[in-house]
């Protein structure tokens, strides 16, 4: 027997009218209201608490960019067990779905960009690709085509399996409990300030920065590598998402560990991966050669820098 979600999906097949998931709408609205309220707490918070919130933000971002994105979705480099554990633990701080689900959706996004099989299809507008896709049941093409993708490498990684199995409890701990308790226990910040600044505000900002890669970086910017695809080079997204805004490059060469032509420039995620290699915790960085990039620019680029 199909469940209600399957029936809704089947009944609306081919249309854009997927059923709204009100639980997500309410929770995301509350999160964002909480984040706006948190701004008023900043002047009274201890400087160390603000620093801690920023450190949590950086860990969150790295776990997504160096972890779920460049390592697990694209396999653009290899990581040894301690690094994979670090990235999986901090990935629970990011609370953006477990690594398996995130990577599978992201692979579908690359393969079927701007079609109904793209979970956050930017062809459906800024709001849908930014957050709206989390408010409705997925289009059935996402699931049908997603099920045909090879995700055996993800399932073969015990770290990915473990994080998926204990995802809920790890999110409660890493996204909410640990960020809140550290400032309270260590330097006597109030629990209220700690919770709203290091958990709620940090989480809401990191979600929006990530979502901008799906929305803004699929709509605004140049296309020097491939003018025939939607993803674009977006400097503002690059700054916020520590090196993930070179999105025209990334969709053209998704296997490049730097996700950009410019190596270390504007790319703290690349600094981090290089540092991990220096420590011996990462290996096998894949990179596109300059002649390949130039040939591709000349063939399909829009002529911009």
Contact positions toward ligand ST9, by CB under 6 A?
5, 21, 24, 60-61, 64-65, 69, 95-97, 102, 104-106, 108, 119, 134, 137-138, 142-143, 146-147, 206-207, 209-210, 213-214, 241, 244
The nearer residue to ligand ST9, 147 or 168, going by C-beta atoms, is 147
CA distance 200 to 194: 9
CA distance 199 to 210: 16
Q: How far is the CB of 34 from ligand ST9 (least distance, A)?
A: 15
Are residues 45 and 162 in contact, defined by beta-carbon separation less than 8 angstroms? no
Helix (H, G, I), strand (E, B) or coil at 77: coil
The nearer residue to ligand ST9, 189 or 267, going by C-beta atoms, is 267
The nearer residue to ligand ST9, 61 or 88, going by C-beta atoms, is 61
Q: Please choose which of Zn ion, ligand ST9, none residue 24 contacts, taking the beta carbon within 5 to 8 angstroms, the exact cut-off set by kind.
A: ligand ST9
The nearer residue to ligand ST9, 151 or 177, going by C-beta atoms, is 151
Angle between helices 81-94 and 47-62 (to 10 degrees): 120
The nearer residue to ligand ST9, 20 or 36, going by C-beta atoms, is 20
Q: Please choose which of ligand ST9, Zn ion, none residue 105 contacts, taking the beta carbon within 5 to 8 angstroms, the exact cut-off set by kind.
A: ligand ST9
The nearer residue to ligand ST9, 72 or 95, going by C-beta atoms, is 95
Instruction: Give the CA distances from residue 201 to residues 30, 174, 195, 302, in Å, rounded to whole numbers and listed in that order.
Output: 12, 15, 9, 38
Query: At which residue do the structure tokens 């996204």 appear?
Result: 175
| Residue 284 CB-half CA count within 13 A | 10
Q: Looking at 15-23, 170-178, 189-197, 224-232, which segment touches Zn ion (CB under 5 A)? A: 224-232
Residue whose beta carbon is closest to ligand ST9: 146
CA distance 24 to 285: 37
Q: Please choose which of Zn ion, ligand ST9, none residue 96 contacts, taking the beta carbon within 5 to 8 angstroms, the exact cut-off set by kind.
A: ligand ST9
Q: How far is the CB of 156 from Zn ion (least distance, A)?
A: 20
The nearer residue to Zn ion, 146 or 231, going by C-beta atoms, is 231
The nearer residue to Zn ion, 193 or 252, going by C-beta atoms, is 252
Q: Please choose which of Zn ion, ligand ST9, none residue 142 contacts, taking the beta carbon within 5 to 8 angstroms, the exact cut-off set by kind.
A: ligand ST9
Q: How far is the CB of 96 from ligand ST9 (least distance, A)?
A: 4
CA distance 23 to 28: 9
Q: How many residues bind Zn ion (CB under 5 A)?
A: 1
CA 129 to chain centre: 13
CA 46 to chain centre: 29
Binding track over 229-248 against Zn ion, x by CB under 5 A = --x-----------------
- For the chain, what is the radius of gyration of the CA atoms? 20
H-state helical runs in 21-166 = 22-39, 47-62, 81-94, 99-111, 126-130, 140-146, 152-155, 158-165
Judged by CB under 5 A, the chain residues 4 through 23 that form the site for Zn ion are none
Which helix (H) or strand (E) segment holds residue 296: the answer is helix 290-300
Q: Please choose which of Zn ion, ligand ST9, none residue 189 contacts, taking the beta carbon within 5 to 8 angstroms, the exact cut-off set by kind.
A: none
Helices (H) and strands (E) in the chain, counts: 17, 2
Binding site for Zn ion (CB under 5 A): 231
């Amino acid at each position: 027997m199909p469940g209600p979600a399957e029936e809704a999906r089947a009944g609306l097949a081919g249309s854009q009218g997927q059923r709204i998931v009100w639980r997500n709408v309410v929770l995301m609205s509350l999160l964002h209201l909480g984040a706006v309220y948190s701004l008023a707490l900043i002047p009274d918070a201890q400087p160390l608490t603000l620093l801690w919130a920023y450190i949590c933000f950086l860990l969150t971002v790295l776990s997504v960019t160096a972890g779920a994105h460049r390592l697990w979705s694209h396999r653009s480099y290899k990581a040894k067990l301690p690094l994979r554990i670090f990235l999986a633990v901090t990935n629970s701080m990011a609370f953006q779905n477990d690594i398996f689900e995130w990577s599978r959706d992201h692979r579908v996004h690359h393969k079927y960009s701007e079609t109904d099989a793209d979970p956050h299809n930017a062809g459906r507008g800024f709001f849908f690709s930014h957050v709206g896709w989390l408010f409705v049941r997925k289009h059935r093409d996402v699931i049908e085509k997603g099920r045909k993708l090879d995700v055996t490498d993800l399932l073969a990684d015990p770290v990915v399996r473990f994080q998926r199995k204990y995802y809920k409890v790890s999110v409660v701990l890493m996204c909410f409990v640990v960020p809140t308790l550290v400032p309270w226990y260590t330097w006597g910040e109030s629990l209220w300030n700690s919770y709203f600044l290091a958990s709620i505000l940090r989480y809401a900002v990191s979600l929006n920065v990530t979502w901008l890669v799906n929305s803004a970086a699929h709509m605004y910017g140049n296309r020097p590598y491939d003018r025939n695809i939607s993803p674009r080079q977006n400097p503002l997204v690059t700054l916020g998402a520590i090196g993930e805004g070179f999105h025209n490059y990334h969709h053209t060469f998704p296997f490049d560990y730097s996700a950009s032509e410019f190596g270390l420039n504007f790319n703290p995620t690349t600094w981090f991966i290089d540092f991990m290699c220096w420590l011996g915790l990462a290996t096998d960085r894949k990179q596109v050669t300059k002649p390949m990039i130039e040939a591709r620019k000349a063939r399909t680029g829009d002529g911009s820098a």
